[in-house]
């Protein structure tokens, strides 16, 4: 059940509702939307009577939620949730582009990538330091050293960073360095990990499992939300099907399905979705047209020598070309592409001129 407060409800009225619900044995989770605060009641609701709340000051209405994913359900926040990451807003009118290499390979590589993706207009830097590889003999990531380079790249460019956390033991370490915690496809149903990231105050991007159904993805998000962390984004990254022409089958349907079912921002990952750099631009454009709130793309200064996922990584020039197309598609559907935090499009243009000089200084 959710209790929708009136737009003018006072803090005291909200507090009163929270206390009353708790006295009936319910767990409460307030969600502060653009216009309304809604209070989701979860857990044991056997003692909860809707009429009690309908009669309380500041309450607009109570709504029963049928979906098993109660906190992720769009009913809980019909306006949609926005998540602010260092001034970059996910889930609003603007589409956020996150880009960078699959793995952080060296200080130079991540700084060079960060400068290049920022120059092209990305507003978040990606880079894996702990890598979930199919083979234990493949490059496993630089670990904490990689996180330090990522933080340095953020320092230089001002771009917030996203990186994967694979284990409960390393959550604090990764959260210390990054702005968004990524839960990889292979860990979508690692419930212990989900509960623990649910106790942090870092935004989380939860990737759909390789064979995960959409409802399973939403139930996994529920593990994070019900532990108190409401800053969750859902990521479509392709699923395994009988088709062998591509690494995975990028499920474009999932984007509008998730937008309809849930209030959480939806991210599309066409790099892992296709496994093929030539297919990344068309599927990125399609994902924005389908309503994705953000894209996460792999960009590498030299994909041929990448230590992971070179085949699906764009060269910086190709990424810059794609950004032009993305701006046009976003405009066609009444949205725009987010500029790096604190910058306007005009600042962006100015910065492009200075970027060459910046590169010389940083990499000298
Ligand atoms: C990645 O983002 O590099 C990654 C490993 O993704 P996924 O978990 O979707 O395979
Ligand atoms: Mn990758």
pLDDT digits (tens, 9 = 90+) for 159-200: 999 999 999 999 999 999 999 999 999 999 999 999 999 999
Cα 64 to ligand 2 centroid, rounded to whole Å? 40
Same domain, residue pair 117 and 50? no
Which atom from ligand 1 is nearest to the alpha carbon of 237? 9
User: In this structure, is residue 76 part of a structural domain?
Assistant: no
Same domain, residue pair 45 and 145? no
CATH number at residue 90: 3.20.20.70
Query: What pLDDT is attached to residue 281?
Result: 98
Which atom from ligand 1 is nearest to the alpha carbon of 272? 9
Query: What pLDDT is attached to residue 347?
Result: 61
User: In this structure, is residue 250 part of a structural domain?
Assistant: yes
Cα 249 to ligand 1 centroid, rounded to whole Å? 14
Residue with CA closest to ligand 1 atom 8:
184
Please check whether residue 330 is in contact with residue 336, taking contact to mean a CB–CB distance below 8 angstroms: yes
Please check whether residue 342 is in contact with residue 160, taking contact to mean a CB–CB distance below 8 angstroms: no
Query: What pLDDT is attached to residue 350?
Result: 59
Same domain, residue pair 49 and 88? no
Which atom from ligand 1 is nearest to the alpha carbon of 308? 3
Residue with CA closest to ligand 1 atom 4:
184
Same domain, residue pair 250 and 345? yes
Query: What pLDDT is attached to residue 361?
Result: 47
Same domain, residue pair 165 and 100? yes
Residues near ligand 1 (Cβ within 6 A): 102, 128, 132, 184-186, 207, 237, 272
Which atom from ligand 1 is nearest to the alpha carbon of 184? 8
User: In this structure, is residue 189 part of a structural domain?
Assistant: yes
Query: What pLDDT is attached to residue 308?
Result: 97
User: In this structure, is residue 69 part of a structural domain?
Assistant: no
Q: For 88-121, what is each residue's pLDDT tens digit?
A: 999 999 999 999 999 999 999 999 999 999 999 9
Same domain, residue pair 51 and 97? no
Same domain, residue pair 328 and 205? yes
Same domain, residue pair 219 and 255? yes
| Buried-state track 167-201, b at ≥16 Cβ within 10 A, e below 16 | eeebbebbbebbbbbbbbbebbebeebbebbbebe
Query: What pLDDT is attached to residue 359?
Result: 57
Query: What pLDDT is attached to residue 96?
Result: 98
Cα 216 to ligand 1 centroid, rounded to whole Å? 18
Residue with CA closest to ligand 1 atom 9:
185
Three-state DSSP state, 288? helix
Query: What pLDDT is attached to residue 216?
Result: 98
Domain of 28? 2-64
Same domain, residue pair 28 and 177? no
Can you list the pairs that 311-315 forms with residues at least 24 positions away whose Cβ atoms lie under 8 Å? 311/275, 311/276, 311/277, 312/102, 312/247, 312/271, 312/272, 312/274, 312/275, 312/276, 312/277, 312/280, 313/101, 313/102, 313/271, 313/277, 314/277, 314/280, 314/281
Rounded-to-integer distance, Cα 17 and Cα 105, Å: 51
Residue with CA closest to ligand 1 atom 1:
102
Cα 212 to ligand 1 centroid, rounded to whole Å? 14
Q: Which parts of the chain have pLDDT scores under 70?
A: 342, 344-364
CATH number at residue 56: 3.30.70.1140
Q: Tell me the best of 178, 207, 211 to mutate to test the pocket of ligand 1, counting ligand atoms within 8 Å of each CB and taking the most.
A: 207
The domain total for the chain is 2
Same domain, residue pair 143 and 29? no
Query: What pLDDT is attached to residue 305?
Result: 98
Q: Tell me the best of 164, 186, 187, 306 to mutate to test the pocket of ligand 1, counting ligand atoms within 8 Å of each CB and taking the most.
A: 164
Same domain, residue pair 151 and 39? no
Cα 183 to ligand 2 centroid, rounded to whole Å? 13
């Amino acid at each position: 059940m959710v209790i929708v407060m009136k737009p003018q409800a006072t803090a005291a009225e909200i507090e009163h509702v929270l206390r009353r619900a708790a006295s009936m044995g319910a767990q409460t989770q307030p969600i502060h939307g653009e216009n309304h605060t809604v209070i989701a009641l979860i857990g044991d609701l056997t003692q909860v009577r809707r009429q009690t709340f309908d009669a309380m000051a500041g309450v607009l209405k109570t709504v029963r939620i049928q979906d098993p994913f109660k906190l992720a359900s769009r009913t809980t926040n019909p306006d949609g949730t926005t998540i602010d990451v260092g001034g970059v807003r996910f889930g609003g009118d603007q589409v956020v582009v996150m880009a960078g290499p699959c793995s952080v390979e060296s200080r130079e590589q991540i700084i060079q990538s960060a400068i290049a993706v920022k120059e092209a207009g990305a507003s978040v830097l990606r880079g894996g330091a702990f890598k979930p590889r199919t083979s234990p003999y493949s490059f496993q990531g630089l670990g904490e050293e990689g996180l330090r380079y990522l933080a340095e790249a953020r320092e230089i460019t001002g771009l917030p960073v996203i990186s994967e956390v694979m284990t409960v033991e390393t959550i604090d370490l990764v959260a210390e360095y990054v702005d968004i915690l990524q839960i990889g496809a292979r860990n979508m149903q690692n419930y212990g990990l989900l509960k623990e990231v649910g106790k942090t105050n870092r935004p989380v991007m939860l990737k759909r499992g390789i064979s995960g159904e959409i409802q399973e993805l939403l139930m996994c998000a529920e593990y994070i939300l019900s532990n108190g962390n409401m800053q969750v984004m859902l990521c479509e990254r392709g699923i395994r099907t009988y088709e062998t022409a591509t690494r995975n089958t990028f499920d474009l349907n999932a984007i509008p399905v998730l937008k309809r079912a849930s209030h959480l921002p939806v991210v599309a990952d066409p790099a892992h979705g296709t496994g093929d750099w030539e297919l990344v631009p068309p599927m990125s454009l399609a994902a924005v047209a389908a309503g994705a709130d953000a894209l996460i793309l792999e960009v590498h200064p030299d994909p041929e020598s990448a230590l992971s996922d070179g085949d699906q990584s764009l060269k910086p020039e190709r990424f810059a070309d794609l950004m032009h197309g993305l701006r046009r598609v976003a405009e066609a559907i009444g949205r725009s592409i987010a500029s790096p935090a604190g910058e306007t499009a005009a600042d962006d243009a100015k910065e492009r001129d200075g970027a060459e000089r910046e590169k010389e200084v940083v990499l000298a």
